[in-house]
């Protein structure tokens, strides 16, 4: 058994370095740049348009609920945002900065700004190629636009398999493990107890279908976002005098201006780019192909509308939430502790102001973020199971998903995390290929974008 596990770990290590290597990460940026050019840099030129069609609709209480048998585009965005705002927004940002320096934040911003149009494109394509299933529900995602748009069934199957396995791993077990670990460290709750509770809550939610998942996320997302944003702003304002130096560290670190003269600049800039871009992509999921699966379920939505929700999703996830985490860490001096553990760094940042409550704050944030991700990713896996086989397999998959959530709380996750991360990257490859080859389907004319 040990020999088998060692072999799996070795194979996975090589594969992971390929799928999350710089060539693939740069390709993410190039695809986003391609759509930015094709659509007239709509993330900038159409800022007022996409803001009014997303945040504006929320504030006016429009488009906030489905028609009884479907979900709205706002509910779809809440579910997609819940899936992307996870432990990566706290732990991932902190560990990325520890490994890549403060400059990683700048490259995270670049990945997000360009990734906004990647998210726009994949969500729009998801709507263009969606179809009704046997129950009359809208289904879609990369597997459908790869098969129907590229006529490449095998590539669509590849995506669906990778997405289904990623859902069980990084979308499920990694999240439940983070919840169990946080509750044990902060409150002394046994992991087995957490596992039972998480499994029960997951079952109650996901067996209610997309309507119940969307109903849960549209309530949970505003609460957890407000909780984290307010807490972060308190830390930043308490360290107001360090804000200028924090941004100075970000920009100088991005190009390693101070180290360039010593000859080490190129290497450290590469590290900042690698960890900044990878953490940005991992956090907001632009290009992975996950969010189009849930946006396709939105009733009475156009490709342009869900595309704009995709831009808004990336904006909130990375430009707002991830940036707040990064600035909290920098202004508090937590990055200088020498630790590379994301939880330790984040906890130190909030403890700088909140003291003992800083640990509680980070723990509660991780629990909310991780659980939202867990229930949302179940829908991604569910639709992949339906695509690969038949909807009759979905109840079996849901039961398996609940069991995996329980196991995730109590087992050693190192290898599972690594393998799940690889499948997360593998699902992006066929999606990126499709986005490139189907780019002719999207243009300012066909999308009817107004600035």
Long-range contact set of residues 354-362: C-beta below 8 Å, sequence gap at least 24 = 354/231, 354/234, 354/235, 359/185, 359/186, 360/186, 361/231, 362/90, 362/182
Location of structure tokens 């920009």: 251
**Cα–Cα distance between 166 and 92 in angstroms, integer?**
17
- The total number of residues shown for the chain amounts to 451
Are the C-beta atoms of residues 243 and 70 closer than 8 Å to each other? no
Using one digit for the tens of pLDDT, what is the confidence trace for 378-409? 999 999 999 998 788 899 999 999 999 998 88
Could you tell me what percent of the chain has a pLDDT over 70? Answer: 88
Which residue would you say has higher pLDDT here, 7 or 235?
235
The pLDDT score that the predictor gives to residue 324 is 93
The pLDDT score that the predictor gives to residue 273 is 64
266 falls in which pLDDT band (50, 70, 90)? very low
Which neighbouring-strand residues pair with 298?
Answer: 71
Which of 329-333, 413-417, 436-440 has the weakest average pLDDT?
413-417
The pLDDT score that the predictor gives to residue 173 is 87
Are the C-beta atoms of residues 273 and 281 closer than 8 Å to each other? no
Are the C-beta atoms of residues 86 and 325 closer than 8 Å to each other? no
The pLDDT score that the predictor gives to residue 64 is 53
- CA diameter of the chain: 64
Radius of gyration over alpha carbons of the chain, in Å? 21
- Helices (H) and strands (E) counted in the chain, each on its own, are 24, 2
For residue 259, pLDDT beyond 50: no
Q: Which residues of 318-334 are buried (b: 16+ CB within 10 A; e: fewer)?
A: bbbbbbbbbbbbbbbeb
- H, E, C per residue of 103-161: CHHHHHHHHHHHHHHHHHHHHHHHHHCCEECCCCCEECCHHHHHHHHHCCHHHHHHHHH
Are the C-beta atoms of residues 306 and 222 closer than 8 Å to each other? no
| Other beta carbons within 10 Å of 303 | 23
Question: Mean pLDDT for the chain?
Answer: 84
Q: What is the helix, strand, coil percentage profile of the chain, to 5?
A: 80, 0, 20
What residues have CB less than 8 Å from 440, skipping those under 6 apart? none
262 falls in which pLDDT band (50, 70, 90)? very low
**Cα–Cα distance between 45 and 63 in angstroms, integer?**
24
Query: Which element (helix H / strand E) includes 284?
Result: helix 265-284
**Cα–Cα distance between 162 and 14 in angstroms, integer?**
17
96 falls in which pLDDT band (50, 70, 90)? confident
Over residues 170-197, mean pLDDT: 88
Using one digit for the tens of pLDDT, what is the confidence trace for 313-324? 999 988 998 899
The pLDDT score that the predictor gives to residue 403 is 93
Tokens representing 156?
Answer: 């669509």
Using one digit for the tens of pLDDT, what is the confidence trace for 289-307? 889 999 988 877 788 889 9
Are the C-beta atoms of residues 183 and 194 closer than 8 Å to each other? yes
**Cα–Cα distance between 427 and 320 in angstroms, integer?**
26
196 falls in which pLDDT band (50, 70, 90)? very high
| Domain 20-51+69-439 class, CATH top level | mainly alpha
Q: How far is CA 268 from the centre of its chain?
A: 26
For residue 78, pLDDT beyond 60: yes
Using one digit for the tens of pLDDT, what is the confidence trace for 22-77? 788 888 889 999 999 999 999 999 999 999 988 887 777 655 555 545 677 778 88
Over residues 427-440, mean pLDDT: 93
Over residues 371-375, mean pLDDT: 90
263 falls in which pLDDT band (50, 70, 90)? very low
Using one digit for the tens of pLDDT, what is the confidence trace for 323-371? 999 999 999 988 877 777 778 888 889 998 998 888 899 899 888 888 9
Over residues 16-27, mean pLDDT: 80
């Amino acid at each position: 058994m040990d020999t088998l596990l060692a072999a799996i770990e070795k194979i996975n290590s090589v594969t992971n370095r390929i799928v999350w290597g710089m060539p693939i990460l740069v390709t993410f940026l190039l695809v986003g740049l391609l759509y930015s050019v094709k659509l007239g840099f709509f993330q900038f030129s159409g800022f007022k348009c996409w803001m009014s069609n997303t945040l504006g609709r929320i504030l006016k209480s429009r488009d906030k609920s489905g028609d009884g048998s479907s979900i709205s585009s706002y509910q779809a965005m809440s579910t997609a945002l819940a899936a992307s705002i996870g432990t990566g927004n706290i732990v991932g940002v902190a560990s990325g900065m520890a490994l890549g320096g403060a400059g990683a934040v700048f490259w995270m911003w670049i990945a997000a700004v360009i990734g906004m149009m990647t998210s726009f494109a994949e969500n729009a394509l998801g709507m263009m190629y969606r179809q009704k299933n046997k129950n009359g529900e809208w289904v879609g995602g990369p597997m459908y636009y790869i098969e129907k748009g590229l006529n490449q069934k095998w590539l669509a199957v590849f995506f669906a398999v990778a997405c289904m396995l990623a859902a069980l791993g990084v979308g499920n077990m990694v999240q439940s493990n983070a919840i169990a670990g946080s509750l044990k460290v902060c409150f002394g709750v046994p992991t087995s107890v957490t596992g039972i509770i998480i499994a029960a809550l997951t079952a109650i939610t996901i067996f209610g279908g997309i309507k119940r998942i969307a109903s849960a996320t549209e309530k949970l997302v505003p609460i957890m976002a407000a909780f984290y944003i307010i807490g972060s702003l308190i830390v930043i304002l308490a360290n107001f005098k360090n804000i200028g130096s924090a941004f100075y560290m970000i920009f100088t670190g991005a190009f390693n201006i101070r180290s360039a003269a010593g000859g080490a600049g190129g290497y450290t800039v590469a590290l900042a780019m690698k960890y900044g871009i990878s953490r940005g992509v991992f956090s907001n999921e632009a290009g992975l192909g996950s969010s189009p699966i849930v946006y396709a379920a939105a009733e009475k939505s156009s490709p342009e509308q869900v595309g704009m929700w995709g831009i808004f999703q990336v904006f909130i996830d990375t430009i707002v939430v991830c940036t707040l985490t990064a600035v909290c860490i920098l202004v508090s001096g937590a990055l200088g502790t020498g630790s590379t553990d994301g939880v330790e760094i984040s906890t130190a940042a909030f403890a700088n102001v909140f003291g003992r409550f800083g640990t509680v704050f980070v723990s509660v944030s991780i629990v909310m973020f991780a659980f939202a991700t867990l229930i949302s990713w179940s829908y991604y896996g569910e639709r992949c199971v339906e695509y690969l086989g038949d909807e009759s397999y979905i109840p079996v998959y849901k039961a398996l998903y609940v069991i995996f959530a329980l196991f995730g709380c109590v087992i050693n996750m190192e290898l599972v995390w690594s393998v799940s991360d690889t499948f997360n990257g593998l699902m992006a490859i066929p999606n990126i290929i499709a986005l490139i080859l189907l780019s002719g389907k999207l243009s300012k004319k066909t999308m009817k974008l107004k600035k």
